[in-house]
Every structure is written in structure tokens, then in C-alpha cells.
Amino acid sequence: MRCVRKAVALRSRKGRSQAGFTLVEFLVAFVISTLIMVGAVTIMQYMVVRAAENGHRTMSQINAYYVGFWIGEDVVQAQIIDVPDDPPDPNGFPLLLKWTGSGGNVSIGYYFDAGKGTMTREHKVNEVLDGNVTIAEYLLPWSESEQEGTRCQRSGNLLVLEVVADYDRGDKMPAVQSRYEILPRFSMVTWQ
């Protein structure tokens, strides 16, 4: 009987010492969990910031592309290209394009609002307004001091477009710059 009491007492002591965590074990587990959580939050925050920056850059690239695409499509059809030599606006707009098509006389006007940073395309057939659409936003105006920005000019037989778009307006990402040199399709194009 005495042996049985000793075995039961021994077993109960072992059982009590194995139940639960000590305070030190708990604190170590808490510190490790906290470090993992802080690391995960830091990585997530970095990923969100990078995604926003990439989105801003993509929007800038799309807007710069639209200007080159629309003007490029219309210039190759134009028989008359009117680029102001000495415009009141140093950006070189409005750009006026004209040709005779199957529907009559077509005229396209590209207007740049430097204050809003928008480019609009106005389409007329036989001097009747057929459509007016904003083709790009977030464009930066031409700056003589920095020698960059959005502008249109003639260089020989080429129409040169320099487009600078900045979706986030200079926060962290640099502006997107594109240059387009467009050669009219018609060899007898009239430049005005």
C-alpha cells in the first residue's frame, strides 16, 4: 500500500509540473508573434504603396499614349495641317487638321487646356460639330525654363509631339515623358 501511495504522489507531481506554460515561455511566444505581425504589416504596407505608385505610373503612360495615338491617326489622313508658329500658348496648340473625305470636309481640332491638364479632340464634318471628347488628362504644360512639358511643333515635314503626363502631380513618381515624330501620309500636305 505504501508503494502505491508513493507512485500516486509521484505521478500527481509530474502531472502538475507539465500542465500549462510558464510566464517566461508565454512572454517569448508573445514577442515572437509580435515580431511576425509587425513584419507582415510592414510588408503589406510596402506592397500597397508600390501598387499605388505603379497605378499612377500606368495612368500617366496611358494618357501620354492616347495623345500620340489620336493625333497620329489623324495626321496621317490630313491634307492641311495648321500648327501655329507663334501661338499665344507656348504649347503649340490648337492643332488643326483638315481633309476631304467621303462624307465631306473633315476638320479635327486638338485643344490643350494647360490649367486643367486636359487634351480635347473636336471633330467637325462640313463645319458641323460631330463630336468633342477629352482624350487625355494629367498633362503638364510646356515650361521654357525646364524645357519639358506637353507641346506640338513642326520640324521639317514632321509633326513633333512632346507629351508629359503626371497622374500624381509630382508626389514621388517622376512624370512620364513621350516623344512622337509623325510623318503625314500625303506628300502634298499643306502646312499652315
The low-confidence residues of the chain, meaning pLDDT below 70, are 1-19, 86-89, 169-173, 187
The domain locations on the chain are 51-191
In residues, how long is the chain?
A: 192
pLDDT at residue 7, rounded to an integer: 53
Order across the sheet with 176-182: list the strands. 151-155, 158-165, 176-182
pLDDT at residue 144, rounded to an integer: 75
Structure-block grid coordinates of residue 9: 504522489
Distance between CA atoms of residues 83 and 94, nearest Å: 7
Distance of CA 143 to the CA centre of its chain: 21
pLDDT at residue 88, rounded to an integer: 60
> Phi and psi at residue 49, in whole multiples of 5°?
-65, -45
- Cα four-point dihedral sign 5, 7, 10, 14: negative
pLDDT at residue 73, rounded to an integer: 92
Tell me if 108 sits within 8 A of 97, measured CB to CB: yes
Q: What is the pTM of this model?
A: 0.74
Tens of pLDDT, residue by residue over 21-72, are: 899 999 999 999 999 999 999 999 999 988 988 888 888 899 999 999 999 9
Distance between CA atoms of residues 104 and 90, nearest Å: 32
Distance between CA atoms of residues 6 and 117, nearest Å: 90
pLDDT at residue 56, rounded to an integer: 86
pLDDT at residue 131, rounded to an integer: 87
> Phi and psi at residue 31, in whole multiples of 5°?
-65, -45
pLDDT at residue 162, rounded to an integer: 92
Can you give the three-state secondary structure of 115-171, one letter per residue?
CCCEEEEEEEECCEEEEEEEEECCECECECCCCECEEEEEECCEEEEEEEECCCCCC
Distance between CA atoms of residues 77 and 101, nearest Å: 9
> Phi and psi at residue 123, in whole multiples of 5°?
-115, 125
> Phi and psi at residue 33, in whole multiples of 5°?
-60, -40
- Cell 499612377 belongs to which residue? 56
Quickly count: other Cβ atoms within 10 Å of residue 51's Cβ.
Answer: 10
Spatial CA neighbour of 111 closest among 119, 103, 101: 119
pLDDT at residue 3, rounded to an integer: 56
pLDDT at residue 112, rounded to an integer: 92
Distance of CA 67 to the CA centre of its chain: 14
Quickly count: other Cβ atoms within 10 Å of residue 102's Cβ.
Answer: 5
